[in-house]
């Protein structure tokens, strides 16, 4: 067992940002057990000093605000309203399966905003695509657009705080932080003690994602704002999925956003950041943003964006210019207080119940994409019941070599053999997937390595779910989630086509059983089947480190 002295000598491996919560949780639990005798007295000694900056300013003044009341008063809203009437009150939907399309759609919509921009994200990085959007958002605010930016507090960096503080100088922009760690984001000591002694409050995070323009067009799905989600990273990029929606359903997305924005857990940034920019700071920051934006416009990534489907459609992302599918849809979302009321099953189970009710409608086939697949015992019982009803189930998830969370992967590996025995078809993403087809690029930045991040479900070829919900226990019990269910055979056919391309040997390994329990990964090279009898392309350290962390972390946190 680790003693108080030895635990501080551990060299924790550098993990991707969406593993930091797990890493911190491990530290919280282990430090509580092994070093509690040291940390608690120290904490009590420092309590008077820390109290002022550690207290969460829930009573900080804030103004109640809501989405744009009359979206049809904007140019975009008028055009959409006309199309809604032509389609008998339905909403329009467009799948954003490529990173270039997803990036261009957001930038174009920011530039076309007239009244409001509402953005809700778990992660907003100050990298090349993030800074480009920040530049466009500030420009929109300067022409009078009201901007509300809601971010989870997990991604705390001094670099990002610099840009968020710059945004708040503009009176049209307000930034709020969801479920903050402590009183000041810049106080590392406070955040560390908050993580250790406030584990129950902090373990649940805001994983919901929404991008809403003039309450007329919304983008919901798996992507955060960072280079890796738009194919612009020089390292591994994510294969992901968003749904762009317009029409009546956007008001549902906005209503959910308003619930989060006006929640007591959403604290104004001004209450959490003590540093204030001088006039010189502002001038330098604006100059840096402009330089970054110009750099992106001249980059090889910009060339890829100019080859994207949406860009080629006369540079337009607006009604009548792209092929929206018109159908009925429903927005699913968690109660924002889920993160601090984990024992209240009525509240924590809201989205899980809604999503399960949707899945229960399946009669013949479920195509499911989830980067993390940790169903738990109750989930496995549900899968078995669906199989007993004769429902064909196919799942695409990450391989050990492609995942950005080897810990969650080991959680999935516990159930993999049982999945196969019950007849579920499993496909695991290759770490270097080949493009889906002509015009569909995976390698956009400097790296061809990829990791799966999409969360989609196709039901019976007649309905589709796109959102932030992973098929794991964290999504179900701890973090807030959202998504959209669309009842449309046409859109389901599009999503199924993407699924089938992704399940091909050029992009995934098909996992099978030899005998009762021996796994085999089936690949294809030059038209010939190739079999692997251990995790393909996964080295010893990857296998060891993932299993090490898996043994320390409760399954409910995977």
φ, ψ of residue 428 in degrees (nearest 5): -115, 130
Among 453, 472, 479, 502, which one carries the catalytic annotation?
A: 453
> Could you give the CA distance from residue 98 to residue 231 in angstroms, rounded to a whole number?
8
Residue burial 17-33, b: 16+ Cβ < 10 Å; e: rest? bbbebbbbbbbbbebee
- 455 catalytic per annotation: yes
Tell me the residue ranges of DSSP E strands in 52-115.
91-96
Question: Among residues 118, 135, 152, 214, which one is catalytic?
Answer: 214
Q: Which residue has the tokens 């399966």?
A: 97
CB atoms within 10 A of CB 229: 25
Q: How far apart are CA 99 and CA 444, in angstroms?
A: 8
The interaxial angle of helices 20-34 and 36-54, nearest 10 deg, is: 120
Task: Give the number of other Cβ atoms within 10 Å of residue 497's Cβ.
Answer: 15
Q: How far is CA 325 from CA 99, 246, 496, in A?
A: 20, 10, 15
The single-letter DSSP state of residue 9 is G
The catalytic position among 259, 281, 349, 460 is 460
- 8 A C-beta contact, residue 532 and residue 520: yes
- The answer to whether residue 460 is catalytic is yes
Structure-token pair, residue 239: 């294969």
User: Is 453 in the active site?
Assistant: yes
- Sequence-separated (6 or more) residues with CB below 8 Å from residue 193: 43, 46, 50, 54, 182
Distance CA(229)–CA(133), nearest Å, equals 14
The CA distance from 425 to 416, in Å, is: 10
Choose, from 131, 207, 304, 394, the residue flagged as catalytic: 207
- Euclidean distance between CA atoms 171 and 231, whole angstroms: 33
Q: What are the backbone angles phi and psi of residue 469, rounded to the nearest 5°? A: -80, 115
Residue 48 to residue 365: CA distance in whole angstroms: 60
DSSP structure class, residue 12: P
287 catalytic per annotation:
no
Most distant pair of Cα atoms in the chain: their distance: 71
* CB-based burial label for 122 (10 Å; 0-12, 13-18, 19+): buried
CB 250 within 8 A of CB 129: no
The catalytic residue positions are 207, 209, 214, 453, 455, 460
């Amino acid at each position: 067992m680790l003693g108080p002295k030895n635990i501080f000598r551990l060299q924790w491996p550098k993990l991707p940002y969406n593993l930091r919560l797990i890493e911190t949780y491990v530290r919280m639990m282990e430090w509580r057990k092994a070093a509690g005798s040291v940390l608690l007295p120290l904490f009590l000694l420092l309590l008077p000093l820390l109290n002022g900056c550690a207290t969460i300013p829930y009573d900080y003044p804030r103004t109640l605000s809501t989405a744009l009341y009359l979206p049809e008063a904007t140019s975009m809203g008028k055009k959409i309203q006309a199309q809604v009437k032509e389609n008998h009150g339905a909403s329009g939907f467009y799948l954003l399966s490529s990173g270039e399309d997803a990036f261009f759609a957001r930038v174009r919509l920011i530039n076309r905003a007239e009244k409001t921009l509402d953005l809700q994200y778990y992660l907003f990085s100050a990298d090349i695509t993030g800074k480009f959007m920040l530049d466009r958002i500030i420009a929109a605010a300067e022409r009078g657009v009201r901007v509300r930016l809601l971010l989870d507090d997990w991604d705390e960096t001094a670099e990002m705080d610099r840009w968020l503080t710059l945004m708040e100088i503009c009176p049209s922009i307000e930034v709020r932080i969801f479920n903050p760690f402590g009183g000041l984001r810049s106080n590392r000591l406070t955040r560390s003690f908050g993580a250790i002694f406030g584990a129950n409050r902090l373990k649940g995070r805001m994983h919901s994602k929404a991008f809403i323009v003039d309450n007329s067009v919304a983008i919901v799905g798996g992507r955060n704002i960072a280079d890796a989600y738009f194919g612009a990273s020089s390292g591994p990029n994510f294969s992901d999925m968003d749904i762009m929606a317009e029409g009546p359903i956007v008001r549902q997305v906005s209503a959910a956003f308003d619930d989060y924005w006006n929640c007591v857990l959403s604290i104004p940034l001004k209450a959490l950041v003590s540093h204030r920019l001088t006039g010189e700071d502002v001038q330098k920051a604006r100059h840096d943003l402009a330089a970054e934006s110009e750099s992106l416009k001249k980059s090889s990534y910009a060339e890829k964006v100019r080859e994207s489907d949406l860009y080629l459609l006369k540079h337009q992302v607006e009604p009548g210019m792209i092929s929206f599918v018109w159908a009925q849809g429903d927005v699913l979302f968690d109660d924002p207080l889920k993160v601090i009321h984990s024992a209240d099953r009525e509240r924590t189970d809201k989205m899980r119940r809604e999503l399960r009710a949707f899945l229960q409608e399946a009669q013949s086939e479920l195509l499911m994409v989830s980067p993390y697949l940790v169903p738990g015992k109750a989930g496995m019982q549900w899968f078995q019941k669906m199989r007993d009803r004769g429902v064909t189930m196919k799942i695409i998830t990450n391989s050990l070599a492609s995942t950005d969370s080897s810990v969650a992967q080991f959680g999935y590996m516990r159930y993999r053999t049982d999945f196969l025995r019950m007849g579920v078809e499993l496909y695991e993403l290759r770490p270097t997937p080949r493009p889906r087809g002509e015009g569909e690029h995976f390698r956009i930045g400097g790296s061809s390595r990829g990791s799966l991040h999409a969360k989609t479900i196709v039901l019976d070829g007649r309905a589709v779910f796109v959102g932030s919900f992973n098929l794991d226990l964290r999504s179900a019990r701890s973090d807030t989630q959202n998504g959209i269910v669309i009842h449309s055979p046409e859109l389901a056919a599009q999503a199924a086509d993407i699924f089938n391309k992704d399940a091909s040997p050029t992009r995934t390994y098909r996992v099978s059983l030899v005998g009762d329990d021996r796994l085999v990964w089936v690949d294809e090279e030059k038209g010939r089947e190739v079999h692997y009898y251990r995790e393909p392309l996964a080295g010893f350290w990857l296998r060891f480190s993932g299993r090490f962390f898996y043994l320390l972390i409760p399954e409910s946190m995977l």
